[in-house]
Chain A
Amino acid sequence: MLAKREDMILDELVSIVGKDNATAAKHIRYAYSYDLSFVKPKLPDYVVMATTVEQIQSIFRLANRDKIPVVPYTAGSNIGGLCIPEHGGILLDLKRMNKIIRIDTESHYAVIEPGVSHAQLAMELYKHNLRWSWPVGPPSASVSSNALCHGIGGMSGRYGLNSEEITSMEVVLPTGELVRVGSCAIQEDSWHSVLPLPQLDGLFKGWLGTSGVVTKMGVRVHPIPPILKVFTVSTRSIEDMTSYMVNLGNYEICDDLTAVSWWLSQVPIPYPYKPKPDAAPEWYCFGATNSWTQKEKEAREEIWQNVLDEEKKKGTSIEYADYPEEALKARTQLPSRIVGSTKNYTKMAGGGISWPGTFTPANKWAPVYNKWKEILIEHNLSPSVRATNYRGVHYGMLRAMIPFNKQSAEETENARHAIVECLKVDLDAGGIPYKPPVDFAAEINKRAHPGYLSLLKQVKKLLDPNDIMNTGKLGF
Chain B
Amino acid sequence: MEWNIATLEELKDILWRCTACGNCKAAYNYGPPPEFGEICPAGAEFGFEGFMASKGKIAFARGILDGQLEWTDELLDAIYKCTVCAGCQNQCELDHKPFIPEIIEAMRRKAVQDGIGPMPTQKKIAQSMRSYNNPYQGPRRVRTDWTRPFKKAKKPIKDINKEPADILYYVGCTGAFNLPARGVPVATASLFQKLGLDFGILGENEICCGSTAMRIGDAEEFKRVAQSNLETFRMLHEERGVKTIVTSCAGCYRAIKKDYILSSEYDKMMDGIQVVHTVDLLNTLFKEGKLKFTGELPMKVTYHDPCHTGRHLTKFVIDKEGSQLWKGAYVGLNDEDCLYDVPREILRAIPGIELVEMERIRDNSYCCGGGGGVMTGYGDWAAKNASKRIEEGMQTGAEHMVSICPFCHYNLNEGSRRISSEMKLYDLVELLDQVISETDKA
> Residues on A close to B: CB < 8 A?
20-21, 23, 25-28, 30-36, 47, 49, 75-77, 93, 95-96, 117, 119-120, 122-123, 126-127, 138-141, 333-338, 340-343, 346-348, 350-353, 405-407
Residue of B nearest to A32 (CB): B49
Determine, out of B12-20, B205-213, B260-268, the stretch whose residues face the partner at the interface: B12-20
Q: Which of B24, B35, B48, B326 contacts A23 (CB 8 A)?
A: B48
Chain A residues positioned under 8 Å from B91 (CB to CB): 337, 341
Q: A26-B69, A27-B60, A350-B16 known; A337 and B23 CB under 8 Å?
A: yes
CB distance from B15 to the nearest CB of A (A): 9
Q: A336-B30, A406-B16 known; A347 and B94 CB under 8 Å?
A: yes
A140→B63 contact, CB < 8 A? no
CB distance from A329 to the nearest CB of B (A): 9
A343→B94 contact, CB < 8 A? yes
Mind listing 19 A-B residue pairs with CB under 8 Å? A23-B48, A25-B74, A26-B72, A27-B59, A27-B69, A30-B60, A30-B68, A31-B60, A33-B59, A77-B22, A96-B47, A120-B36, A140-B22, A341-B93, A346-B19, A347-B94, A350-B17, A351-B19, A351-B20
Chain A residues positioned under 8 Å from B329 (CB to CB): 347-348
Chain A residues positioned under 8 Å from B26 (CB to CB): 117, 119-120, 139-140
Max count, chain B CB within 10 A of own CB: residue among A20, A35, A343:
A343
Q: Given contacts A342-B19, A342-B21, A347-B93, could you give 12 more A-B pairs where the C-beta distance is less than 8 Å? A: A26-B75, A27-B50, A28-B49, A31-B59, A77-B20, A93-B47, A122-B36, A127-B33, A140-B23, A342-B93, A405-B16, A406-B16
B36→A123 contact, CB < 8 A? yes
B150 at interface by CB-CB < 8 Å: no
CB distance from B30 to the nearest CB of A (A): 5
Residue of A nearest to B328 (CB): A350
Chain B residues positioned under 8 Å from A405 (CB to CB): 16
Q: Which of B32, B49, B69 contacts A126 (CB 8 A)?
A: B32
Give Cα distance in the complex from A25 to B70, angstroms: 11
Give Cα distance in the complex from A379 to B28, angstroms: 37
Max count, chain A CB within 10 A of own CB: residue among B49, B60, B94:
B49
B34→A122 contact, CB < 8 A? yes
Give Cα distance in the complex from A27 to B81, angstroms: 14
Give Cα distance in the complex from A31 to B22, angstroms: 12
Q: A336-B30, A337-B23 known; A31 and B50 CB under 8 Å?
A: yes
A407→B36 contact, CB < 8 A? no
> On chain B, which size bracket covers the interface?
35 or more
A138→B22 contact, CB < 8 A? yes
Q: A31-B50, A36-B20 known; A119 and B74 CB under 8 Å?
A: no
B28→A337 contact, CB < 8 A? yes
B78 at interface by CB-CB < 8 Å: yes
A335→B21 contact, CB < 8 A? no
Q: Which of B20, B22, B33, B72 contacts A34 (CB 8 A)?
A: B20
Chain B residues positioned under 8 Å from A127 (CB to CB): 33
Chain B residues positioned under 8 Å from A27 (CB to CB): 50, 59-60, 63, 69, 72, 74-75, 78
Interface residues of B in 83-97 (CB under 8 A from A): 91-95
Chain A residues positioned under 8 Å from B24 (CB to CB): 341
A119→B32 contact, CB < 8 A? no
Q: Which of B23, B29, B46 contacts A340 (CB 8 A)?
A: B23
A30→B16 contact, CB < 8 A? no
Give Cα distance in the complex from A260 to B163, angstroms: 70
Residue of A nearest to B60 (CB): A27
5 closest residue pairs by CB, A with B: A341-B23, A407-B16, A119-B28, A343-B93, A119-B36
Give Cα distance in the complex from A346 to B96, angstroms: 12
A31→B49 contact, CB < 8 A? yes
Chain B residues positioned under 8 Å from A336 (CB to CB): 30
CB distance from B68 to the nearest CB of A (A): 6
Chain B residues positioned under 8 Å from A119 (CB to CB): 26, 28, 34, 36
Contact mask for chain B residues 37-53; partner A; CB cutoff 8 A; 1 contact, 0 none: 00000000011111000
A77→B21 contact, CB < 8 A? yes
B34→A126 contact, CB < 8 A? yes
CB distance from B429 to the nearest CB of A (A): 35
Residue of B nearest to A334 (CB): B30
B55 at interface by CB-CB < 8 Å: yes
Give Cα distance in the complex from A334 to B17, angstroms: 24
B25 at interface by CB-CB < 8 Å: yes
Q: Which of B29, B31, B47, B95 contacts A95 (CB 8 A)?
A: B47
Q: A340-B23, A341-B23, A351-B19 known; A335 and B30 CB under 8 Å?
A: yes
B117 at interface by CB-CB < 8 Å: no
CB distance from B32 to the nearest CB of A (A): 6
Q: A28-B49, A93-B47, A407-B13 known; A351 and B18 CB under 8 Å?
A: yes
B56 at interface by CB-CB < 8 Å: yes
Give Cα distance in the complex from A346 to B94, angstroms: 8
Residue of A nearest to B33 (CB): A126
Q: A342-B93, A351-B16 known; A28 and B48 CB under 8 Å?
A: yes
Residue of A nearest to B92 (CB): A341
B30→A337 contact, CB < 8 A? yes
Contact mask for chain B residues 236-280; partner A; CB cutoff 8 A; 1 contact, 0 none: 000000000000000000000000000000000000000000000
B49→A139 contact, CB < 8 A? no
Chain B residues positioned under 8 Å from A123 (CB to CB): 33-36
B22→A75 contact, CB < 8 A? yes
A353→B19 contact, CB < 8 A? yes
Q: Which of A93, A348, A353, A407 contacts B49 (CB 8 A)?
A: A93
A140→B48 contact, CB < 8 A? no
A139→B94 contact, CB < 8 A? no
Give Cα distance in the complex from A347 to B47, angstroms: 27
Chain A residues positioned under 8 Å from B68 (CB to CB): 30
Q: A27-B69, A117-B36, A337-B29 known; A76 and B49 CB under 8 Å?
A: yes
CB distance from B73 to the nearest CB of A (A): 10
Q: A28-B78, A30-B69, A126-B33 known; A138 and B95 CB under 8 Å?
A: no
CB distance from B64 to the nearest CB of A (A): 9
Residue of B nearest to A117 (CB): B26
Give Cα distance in the complex from A341 to B329, angstroms: 15
A30→B29 contact, CB < 8 A? no
Max count, chain B CB within 10 A of own CB: residue among A27, A120, A352:
A27
Give Cα distance in the complex from A405 to B24, angstroms: 21
B21→A340 contact, CB < 8 A? yes
Max count, chain B CB within 10 A of own CB: residue among A32, A337, A346, A407:
A337
Q: A127-B33, A336-B30, A337-B91 known; A49 and B23 CB under 8 Å?
A: no
B326→A348 contact, CB < 8 A? yes
CB distance from B25 to the nearest CB of A (A): 5
Give Cα distance in the complex from A126 to B33, angstroms: 7
Chain A residues positioned under 8 Å from B75 (CB to CB): 25-27
Chain B residues positioned under 8 Å from A28 (CB to CB): 48-50, 78
CB distance from B63 to the nearest CB of A (A): 5
CB distance from A22 to the nearest CB of B (A): 10
Chain B residues positioned under 8 Å from A49 (CB to CB): 47-48
Residue of B nearest to A126 (CB): B33
Chain A residues positioned under 8 Å from B326 (CB to CB): 348
Chain A residues positioned under 8 Å from B20 (CB to CB): 34-36, 76-77, 351
Residue of A nearest to B12 (CB): A407
Give Cα distance in the complex from A334 to B94, angstroms: 19
Q: Which of B28, B63, B74, B78 contacts A335 (CB 8 A)?
A: B28
Chain B residues positioned under 8 Å from A126 (CB to CB): 31-34
Residue of B nearest to A125 (CB): B34
Interface residues of B in 330-386 (CB under 8 A from A): none
Q: A122-B34, A352-B19 known; A47 and B69 CB under 8 Å?
A: no
Max count, chain A CB within 10 A of own CB: residue among B25, B33, B48, B91:
B48
CB distance from B36 to the nearest CB of A (A): 4
CB distance from B351 to the nearest CB of A (A): 35
Chain B residues positioned under 8 Å from A23 (CB to CB): 48
Chain A residues positioned under 8 Å from B33 (CB to CB): 123, 126-127
Max count, chain A CB within 10 A of own CB: residue among B75, B93, B329:
B93
